Amino acid sequence: MTGEHRHEARRFCEDEYIDYVVYSYLSSIEGDEENRRILREMAEQEYRHYEFWKELVGSDCKVNVSRIRLAVLGFMRRIMGVTFTVKFLERHEKEVIESYKRFLEHLEGETRRRLEEIIEDEISHENYLISRINESIVRYLGFIALGLADAIVEITGVHAGFLGATATTLVAGVAGLIVGLSAAISMAAAAYLQAKHESSTTAPLPSAIATGIAYFFAVVTLALPYFITHSNILAFVASVMLAVALISIFVFYSSVINETSFRREIVENLGVLFGTAAAAYIFGDVLGRIFGIGDILALLA
C-alpha cells in the first residue's frame, strides 16, 4: 500500500475502535438484558473490524475516547432512547461503506475477501441487530407523532384565528386550551379504536395514552405565552416559535429513527403549519369584521 492508502486504513482502524468503545459503553449502561446483549454483539463486531484494519496497517490503532463524549451519548441514551442513539451513531455508515468499497480496489486475495465480508456486515448484519432492539417509544412513535403534529397545527390555527378576531390574549389562550384539551380526548379515543382494530404490535391503551399525552403537552406548551403577556401579537409569535421548536425536535428524532431526510420532512411540516396559520388568521379576521366578535370578546374579558 502507498503511504496515502496506509493513512486511510489507519483512519478506518481508529474509527472502528471508537465504535467498539462506544457500543461497549452503551451496553454497560443498558438496563434491558436483550438490548444489552445486542449492543455487546455490535461492539464485538466492531472489534473484529478493528482487528482487520490493525493487521492491514501493521500497528495498533487504539485511540482515547473522550469521557465527555461517552457521557453525552449516555445522556442521549437516557433521554432519547437506545434506538435513536444507535441509529444516530450509524448515520455515517453509508459513507463508510462507500469508502470501504473504494478501498477494495487496492486489495486482492484473502485480504480483499475479508474486507468484502466486513462490508456485508456493515450493510446487513448491523441493520439486522438494530431492528431487533426492543423499545416501547419506537413502537408508539406513530401515535406520538399523530398527537404532536395534529395538536401543533390545530392549536396554532386556533390562535391565528383569534389573532384576527380579538386582541385579548386571555380569550385566545383559554380558547386554545378548551379546543386543544377536547381534541386531545377525541384523538386519544380515536387512537384507541385504531390500535384495537389493527393487527399490530401496539396495544390500544398505550396507543391512546401516547396520543393523548403528546397532544396535551403540545396544547399546554403553545397556550402558555397567552397567559404570560397581554400582547396578542407577542403571544402568537412566541407560540409559533415554540411550535417550530417542537416540530423541529420531533422531526429530527423521527428522521433518525425512520432513516428519512430531515430537510424534506421539516420543510413539509413547517409549510403545513404556516399555511394553516395564515388561512385561520384570514378566516378569523373576516368573521371578526362581519360579526364584531372582537368587541364582544373584549367586553366579556
Q: Tell me which residue has cell 419506537.
A: 138
User: What residues have CB less than 8 Å from 151, skipping those under 6 apart?
Assistant: 180, 183, 184, 187, 214, 215, 216, 218, 219, 222
120 and 153 assigned to the same domain: no
pLDDT for the residue 80: 82
pLDDT tens, residue by residue, 133-142: 766 666 677 6
75 and 209 assigned to the same domain: no
pLDDT band at 288 (very low <50, low <70, confident <90, very high): low
Domain-terminating residue out of 75, 107, 134: 134
Q: Tell me how many domains the chain contains.
A: 2
91 and 46 assigned to the same domain: yes
92 and 170 assigned to the same domain: no
96 and 187 assigned to the same domain: no
Q: What is the pTM of this model?
A: 0.72
| Exposure b/e, 121-138, CB count within 10 A at least 16 = b | bbeeebeebbeebebeeb
116 and 145 assigned to the same domain: no
- Half-sphere exposure at residue 90, Cβ-oriented, CA atoms within 13 angstroms: 27
pLDDT for the residue 273: 77
83 and 190 assigned to the same domain: no
104 and 187 assigned to the same domain: no
Domain span including residue 157: 137-300
What is the pLDDT averaged over residues 243-259?
Answer: 84
Three-state SS string over 55-68 comes to HHHCCCCCCCCCHH
173 and 195 assigned to the same domain: yes
What are the C-alpha distances in Å from 220 to residues 88, 145, 177, 182, 243? 30, 17, 7, 12, 11
120 and 154 assigned to the same domain: no
pLDDT tens, residue by residue, 156-202: 777 777 665 566 778 778 888 888 888 888 888 887 887 777 655 66
User: What does the alpha-carbon distance between residue 86 and residue 89 come to, in Å, rounded to a whole number?
Assistant: 5
168 and 83 assigned to the same domain: no
pLDDT for the residue 301: 47
pLDDT tens, residue by residue, 223-237: 899 888 888 888 888
* 3-class state of residue 135 by DSSP: coil
